[in-house]
């Protein structure tokens, strides 16, 4: 009886350790699929933009490549059962990096019908990233994820918060100014490379 009682805490720790490794593996596989899918969508249309130094394209593609590369390493760690708290927290940070580079690019370089970050369908990936923080079964990991996502959402919402509550005319003017600024940057990059983008 005493031996069983002594083994109890160790059994629980072993169970939680195994569950954390499986949770991280599930999150890693989901991140790999998401990054690969986004790369398949973005890369063909952004190869030319990458060549002329388009900042939005470089940010999006680089973040997806980082997410995919880190996922390969994290998958090896989870299979070997060597996902330490530090590696788990780093995985949470990589999730936030991929999510908010994508959303931040949508804010910095809005499309023609942009009406604020709250109206963007990409916002659903934030919910998935928050859920992933809980799947890892780490209290500190979940707290880190919530903090990063709160800061990321605030950063994405703040530039367009008042604009999204304004009139359609105000939104169109804001988006027009952002697109004009982006076009001038793209033209300048193309001119420096000796190519015409228009």
Question: How many domains in the chain?
Answer: 1
Compute the distance between CA of residue 177 and CA of residue 173 in angstroms, rounded to an integer.
6
Asked if the structure places residue 2 within a domain, the reply is: no
The answer, yes or no, to whether residue 173 has pLDDT greater than 60, is: no
Return the higher-pLDDT residue of 9 and 135. Answer: 135
How far apart, in whole angstroms, are the C-alpha atoms of residue 63 and residue 155?
A: 18
What integer pLDDT is reported at residue 121 of this predicted model?
66
Query: 62 lies in a domain?
Result: yes
**Strand ranges, E, within 35-141:** none
Q: Tell me the average pLDDT across 29-54.
A: 90
Domain containing residue 119: 14-190
Residue 4 in domain: no
Lowest mean pLDDT of 45-59, 65-79, 90-104, 151-165, name the range. Answer: 151-165
Residue 116 lies in a domain: yes
How many residues does the structure list for the chain? 198
Q: What's the Rg (C-alpha) of the chain? A: 21
**Domain-embedded: residue 20:** yes
Per residue in 76-116, pLDDT (tens digit) is 999 888 989 899 999 999 999 998 998 888 888 887 777 66
- Kindly write down the DSSP assignment for every residue of the chain, as one continuous string: -HHHHHHHHHHHHHHHHHHHHHHHHHHHHHHHHHHHHHHHHHHHHHHHHHHTT-HHHHHHHHHHHHHHHHHHHHHHHHHHT---HHHHHHHHHHHHHHHHHHHHHHHHS--TT---GGG-GGGHHHHHHHHHHHHTT-HHHHHHHHHHHHHHHHHHHHHHHHHHHS-HHHHHHHHHHHHHHHHHHHHHHHHHTT----
| Domain assignment of residue 133, yes or no | yes
Q: For the segment 22-40, what is each residue's pLDDT rounded down to a tens digit? A: 888 998 998 999 899 989 9
Is 195 a domain residue? no
Residue 68 belongs to some domain of the structure: yes
């Amino acid at each position: 009886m005493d031996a069983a009682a002594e083994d109890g805490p160790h059994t629980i720790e072993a169970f939680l350790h195994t569950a954390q490794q499986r949770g991280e593996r599930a999150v890693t596989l989901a991140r790999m699929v998401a990054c690969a899918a986004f790369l398949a969508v973005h890369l063909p249309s952004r190869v030319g933009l990458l060549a002329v130094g388009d900042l939005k394209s470089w940010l999006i593609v680089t973040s997806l490549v980082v997410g995919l590369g880190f996922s390969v390493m994290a998958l090896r760690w989870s299979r070997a059962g060597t996902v330490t708290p530090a590696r788990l927290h780093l995985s949470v940070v990589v999730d936030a990096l991929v999510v908010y580079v994508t959303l931040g690019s949508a804010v910095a370089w809005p499309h023609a019908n942009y009406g604020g970050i709250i109206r963007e369908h990409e916002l659903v990936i934030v919910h998935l990233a928050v859920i992933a923080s809980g799947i890892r079964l780490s209290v500190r990991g979940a707290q880190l994820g919530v903090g990063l996502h709160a800061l990321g959402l605030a950063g994405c919402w703040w530039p367009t918060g008042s604009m999204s509550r304004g009139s359609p005319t105000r939104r169109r003017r804001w988006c027009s100014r952002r697109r004009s600024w982006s076009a001038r940057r793209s033209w300048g990059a193309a001119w420096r490379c000796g190519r015409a983008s228009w």
